[in-house]
Every structure is written in C-alpha cells, then in structure tokens.
Amino acid sequence: MKKIRIAKVRQKLEEKGYDALLIKSLPNIYYLSGFTSEDAWLLLTFHNNYLLTDFRYLEQAAGEAKGFEIVRVDNNLEEVLAKLTLNLKIIGIEEDVITWAEYRKIIKALENQTLADASAILKELRQVKEPAEIETIRQAVRITDEALAEVLGNIRVGHKEEEIALNLELALRRRGASGKSFEFIVASGKRSSLPHGTASGKRLERGELLTLDFGAKYQWYCSDLTRTVILGKPEPKQQEIYNIVLEAQLAALAAIKPGMSGQEVDAVAREIIKNYGYGEYFGHGLGHSVGLEIHESPRFSITEKQIIEPGMIMTVEPGIYIPGWGGVRIEDMVLVTKNGVEVLTQASKQFIIID
Ligand SMILES: [Mn+2]
C-alpha cells in the first residue's frame, strides 16, 4: 500500500515539476512510511526515500519504515538536508505544517534551491480512503457508538461535564482506542449554544439540553460523533429545534451523491434550517472529511467547490445554536458510495430523554 502511495506522490511531483517533497506532517509521514513518532522528516526524491530522525527513534524507524533509508539527525538538520538535496532544484514543502523556526532552517539549508508549497499533494491523496482504511474507520465508529451507549446509561442530573468527558474517554480506551481524536465537547444548558464548548466543571441540571461531541483515535484513524440529549422532559422549543436539526441532517444524508460539490451538499441542510427561520444560528459548515486527522478536506461548507467522490468519509453535522438559550447538533459519519452514502454511525437519533 505504502509503495503505491509513494508512487502516486512521485507522479504528482512529476506533474508539478518538483524534484523532491519534504514532509513534516506526522499523519503524512505515517501515511507514507508507517513511522510513528513526534519528530521526523521525510524527503522523497525520484530515486530515494529518506526518513530523517534523531537517536531516540532510530531502531523504531528501521522497524516501521520499510523501504526508507533512515538518516540520523543530531541538531544538524540544515547540514543533512543540504547534503541530501545537493543536485535538486525545486523542493516541495508543507507551508501549513512547518513552523517559522523550521522554515528558517530549511531556507538556510536549501539556499540554492527553489521552495514551493506542495501541501495539496498529500491532502488530495488522502481524500479517497483505501478499503483497509475504511475498515479501520468502521471499527473506530463502532467503538464510538458503543462508548456513547455505555456513558448515556450512566448520566444523571448533578454530574459534571468533565466527568462525562472522562467517562467517554475511558469507554473508548477500554474498547481499544489509543486516545481522543480531539478535545471532547460536553456542553449542557446554555453552554450547548457553544458549538465547540469543551467540557467544564458545570453540573447538569434538569431540563437542560446536553451536547456530546467526541471521537476515538483508533489504530491512528479518527472517529467523530455528536448527539444532543435532554435531561428530563423537553420543552416545546427544545423539541422544535431538535426536530429541525434532525430533518436537516436526514435530508442531507439522503441527498449526498458523488458528483455533488461540497457546497451543494451543505446547501441541502442549510436551506431547511433557513426556511424555519434559524439560518443565522447555523454558522459552521455541514461537515468535514475524517481520516488520520479529525478535520480533513474536502468539507461540506458554503464555499467548498470540490466534488464528492466514492471512498470519501465525511461527517454530516448540522446544528442550531441560540446564544443564551442553548443548542442542538446531530452528527454522523458516512462513507460516500457509488450511489449515495452508507451511514457508518449507528447511534440512535431519537431525542434521547435522560431522567
Ligand atoms: Mn465533526
């Protein structure tokens, strides 16, 4: 698999007229080499695959990164890079990943070369998932569904948001997750109007909406799931908002087809929410791609022109957030198929009442 991926990268380099690609993004390094660390660089030329890392990782790199020449770096990145790129002219780098300090080292080392941003290459390559990746993500989604069911069964009025976030993480880890795919959102009552309200010390009260948005890191892949539940009997307005978000979410799921652009998909849900008069309270995109990272491209958003293809894994997550009142979001993960989508998330979307 990695050989095929690397061959595809080289093909892109050739199309763009670049001589090499210097990679710093850890997910990209893992995707191309299998190497898992906190500190490494890949340098792909037309003839060599180099993995640059320091003493701590040498043995691990040799075991994980098959087909790569492991190059030791000891605070001499400039020297090593200069040597490896001696006869090369145009080098692609990842402008959205490297730091200013790293950039300064790179331009010093590559003073005779031209640098160009090449971050689109891996971004595009990773969009359509391979069968094995889809299988792993399926597992990540399955344990996320299970963790939700387990934790929902134990939530009571008086619990703190932070305790719920911790219980979600434990439930995921007990099922094989290595960690969280992002900082969990557990937002109750008025806080549920914060689309990204991470768990706080607030205690749950009767009558409140509670939004849970969380996911696993499982064998390096991410999952993402949101449900909004109600603590006790819903007020008419809570029920109304829930129904609108659900209607928008189901309509989007039914509409997605390969060949649509990200903005066309987004518009399906947005129109429904707008027609009910809540358009201004749905201020984020409808969804995003998920893979080794929690937010990948393409997106479902008002500006996304990219066409949706089979094999992409996306979230569909409309929401309505009313400041000072609260909010509702419902999120599933889907696999884009030839004719539409397969909804991977199995968790119920009935308005769950916790009493
Ligand atoms: Mn999401």
Provide the pLDDT for residue 56.
93
Q: Which residues contact 40 (CB under 8 A, 6 or more apart)?
A: 26, 29, 51, 52, 53, 57, 61
Task: Please give the distance, rounded to the nearest whole angstrom, from the Cα atom of residue 187 to the centre of ligand 1.
Answer: 15
Element (H, E) at 288: strand 287-289
303-354 per-position pLDDT tens digit: 999 999 999 999 999 999 999 999 999 999 999 999 999 999 999 999 999 9
Provide the pLDDT for residue 196.
87
Task: Please give the distance, rounded to the nearest whole angstrom, from the Cα atom of residue 345 to the centre of ligand 1.
Answer: 12
69-83 per-position pLDDT tens digit: 999 999 999 999 999
Query: What is the DSSP pairing of strand 69-72 with strand 49-53?
Result: parallel
Task: Please give the distance, rounded to the nearest whole angstrom, from the Cα atom of residue 253 to the centre of ligand 1.
Answer: 15
Task: Please give the distance, rounded to the nearest whole angstrom, from the Cα atom of residue 287 to the centre of ligand 1.
Answer: 6
Q: What is the residue-wise DSSP string for 39-84?
A: S-EEEEESS-EEEEE-GGGHHHHHHH-TT-EEEE-SS-HHHHHHHH
Listed residues: CB within 5 A of ion ligand 1 = 224, 315
195-205 per-position pLDDT tens digit: 888 999 999 99
Task: Please give the distance, rounded to the nearest whole angstrom, from the Cα atom of residue 175 to the centre of ligand 1.
Answer: 21
Task: Please give the distance, rounded to the nearest whole angstrom, from the Cα atom of residue 119 to the centre of ligand 1.
Answer: 22
Cβ 281 vs Cβ 322: under 8 Å: yes
Task: Please give the distance, rounded to the nearest whole angstrom, from the Cα atom of residue 224 to the centre of ligand 1.
Answer: 5
Task: Please give the distance, rounded to the nearest whole angstrom, from the Cα atom of residue 331 to the centre of ligand 1.
Answer: 7
Average pLDDT of the chain is 96
Task: Please give the distance, rounded to the nearest whole angstrom, from the Cα atom of residue 10 to the centre of ligand 1.
Answer: 32
For 325-338, letters b (16+ CB in 10 Å) and e give bbbbbbbbbbbbee
Q: Which domains does the chain have, with CATH numbers?
A: 2-125 (3.40.350.10), 131-354 (3.90.230.10)
Q: What is the residue-wise DSSP string for 183-247?
A: PPEEEEGGGGG-TT-B--SPBP-TT-EEEEEE-EEETTEE--EEEEEEESSPPHHHHHHHHHHHH
Provide the pLDDT for residue 159.
96
Provide the pLDDT for residue 300.
98
Q: Which two tokens stand for residue 214?
A: 């969380």
Provide the pLDDT for residue 174.
98
Provide the pLDDT for residue 321.
97
Residue 272 identity (one-letter amino acid):
I
Task: Please give the distance, rounded to the nearest whole angstrom, from the Cα atom of residue 20 to the centre of ligand 1.
Answer: 34
175-192 per-position pLDDT tens digit: 999 999 999 999 999 999
Q: 10 Å Cβ neighbour count for 277?
A: 9
Question: What is the pLDDT confidence band of residue 355, given thresholds at 50, 70 and 90?
Answer: confident
- Model pTM above 0.75: yes
Task: Please give the distance, rounded to the nearest whole angstrom, from the Cα atom of residue 312 to the centre of ligand 1.
Answer: 15
Provide the pLDDT for residue 114.
96
216-258 per-position pLDDT tens digit: 999 999 999 999 999 999 999 999 999 999 999 999 999 999 9
Task: Please give the distance, rounded to the nearest whole angstrom, from the Cα atom of residue 328 to the centre of ligand 1.
Answer: 14
Provide the pLDDT for residue 195.
87
Is the pLDDT score of 1 beyond 80? no
* Mean pLDDT for the stretch of residues 264-271: 98
